[in-house]
Amino acid sequence: MEILVSIIGGLVVLWFAIGLLLRGPDLSQYDSPAGERGTSLDRVSRENEEARRLLRQMQKGVNSTSFRGRVAQMREVLDRGIPGAAMSADGLGVAISDADAGGIPAEWVIAPNADASRRLLYLHGGAFAAGSPRSHRPITARLSKLAGVAVLAIDYRLMPENRRIAGILDCQSAYRWILDNGPEGPGAPGELFVAGDSAGGNLTLMLIAWIRDEGLRQVDAAVALSPPSDGTSSSPSMRNNVDTDLMLGPTFGKLANLPRTLILLFTVFAARMRPTNPLISPIFGDLSRLPPTLVQVSDSEMLTDDGRRWVNKARGQGSDARLQTWPGMLHVWHAFADTLPEANEALEKIAAFVSEYAKG
């Protein structure tokens, strides 16, 4: 009996030790309000319910009981696009051409008014397991039109076929490539930006810190839409907003309510890195000397506080970081620009931010 008690006691101690080892420093000091209300609208638009209906329609296409089956269905649904939304070059009013970004499959998305020397590297979202340049054309096409940029959207390697580090390395390789290549061939960019949504927002925040540490030419400005910045899932909104996040809640809500140590172990297993590694958790890294960065979040999504905390820490370390918050929006509502006025407003604010730091 004493041996059993000792074993149980040892396991309990080990459980708590693992939790303490993996969770990292307390980030609650960065929970104070930051930024501005993103929208000028007095209330959530009536079109928001239509966007939610379209999301529910898309979610019906993801119903496999197996993990790999759900991943395959999610990829298909995302590449098919939001029902009724344009996905082709003709429908979007842009030119789309395939590219090889240093061995990384990619596509250039270029509006008629875009300046080929004003380049934007776009990193798509999709929980690191789905998404592609095609799935995010409704966003990249509008960014090209509104900001006058030539957008390079890359098709980085996804999980679970590849380790998390593979996608990170692809983003880094593509950045080195865009420093010397544009849509018209070899040549340095006049102006350079990076942007991404959700998982791509995480990769954006990772990338700008890596660029600084590598001593490469830094981007003129960066944009992160609904980015996860903390792989330890410690943000209050990760639990508080499960019921209001219609996109992430159904998939990740159950995970968010698991014991903290179990979540941390899951992250280690999935990413093959410690949850506090800045490559997957940018908030745990050095956030000084970063380029001007705009973060946009919805106050209804699970990742609200990941964005808020990153901005507050970056500001505290002297970087120019801005947070814009929209009330009642879906996670990455920007994709619903054909339906939501708030999506168009957010994209216009991004274009204004990019123009603010454009040299020409």
Is 45 a catalytic site residue?
A: no
Q: How far apart are CA 235 and CA 31, in angstroms?
A: 9
Mean pLDDT of 278-284: 97
pLDDT of residue 350 exceeding 80, the answer is yes
Q: Which of 74, 96, 99 is nearest to 87 (CA)?
A: 96
E strand map for 220-332: 221-225, 293-298, 321-326
CA distance 109 to 139: 10
Model confidence at 20, in pLDDT bands (50, 70, 90)?
A: low
**pLDDT value of residue 295:** 98
pLDDT at 9 over 70: no
What number is the average pLDDT over the span 258-283? 86
Query: What single DSSP character describes residue 303?
Result: T
Angle at 324 between CA 321 and CA 330, to 5 degrees: 130
Residue 234's alpha-carbon distances to 34, 131, 309, 320, in angstroms, are: 18, 25, 11, 24
For 204-218, the pLDDT digits (tens) are 999 999 999 999 999
Instruction: Give me the catalytic one of 107, 301, 342, 345.
Output: 301
Q: What is the pLDDT of residues 95-114, one digit of tens each?
A: 999 999 999 999 999 999 99
Question: For residue 87, what pLDDT is reported?
Answer: 92
Residue 294 has φ and ψ, to the nearest 5°, of -105, 130
pTM over cut 0.85: yes
**CA 152 from centroid of its chain's CA atoms:** 16
Q: What is the pLDDT of residue 4?
A: 53
Q: Find which of 34-38, 200-204, 274-278 is predicted with most confidence, using mean pLDDT.
A: 200-204
Q: Is residue 2 annotated as a catalytic residue, yes or no?
A: no
Token code pair at residue 171 = 């983003």
Share of the chain above pLDDT 90, in %: 77
Per residue in 268-277, pLDDT tens?
Answer: 888 888 899 9
Given pLDDT bands bounded at 50, 70 and 90, which one contains residue 263? confident
Does position 37 have pLDDT exceeding 90, yes or no?
A: no
More confident residue, 252 or 112: 112
Q: Is 179 helix (H, G, I), strand (E, B) or coil?
A: coil
299 pLDDT higher than 70: yes
Residue of 45, 198, 226, 237 with catalytic role: 198
Tokens 């041996």 found at: 3
Task: Flag whether pLDDT at 34 surpasses 70.
Answer: no
Could you tell me where the beta strands, DSSP code E, fall in 165-207?
181-182, 185-186, 191-197
Higher pLDDT, 118 or 262: 118
Catalytic residue among 331, 334, 342, 345: 331
**142 pLDDT above the threshold of 70:** yes
269-273 contacts at long range (C-beta below 8 A, 24 or more positions apart) = 270/159, 270/164, 271/163, 271/164, 271/231, 272/163, 272/164, 272/165, 273/164, 273/165
Structure confidence by residue, pLDDT tens digits, 219-251:
999 999 999 999 999 999 999 999 999 999 998
Percent pLDDT > 70 in the chain is 93
Placement of tokens 């849509």 in the chain: 183
What's the confidence (pLDDT) of residue 18? 62
What whole-number distance in Å separates Cα of residue 289 and Cα of residue 320?
9
Please indicate whether residue 198 is annotated as part of the active site.
yes
- Cα separation of 207 and 219, whole Å? 10
- CA-to-CA distance for 352 and 30, rounded, in angstroms? 27
For residue 94, which of 107, 83, 81 has the smallest C-alpha distance?
107
| CATH of the structural domain 34-57+84-356, one choice from 3.40.640.10, 3.40.50.1820, 3.90.1150.10, 1.20.950.20 | 3.40.50.1820
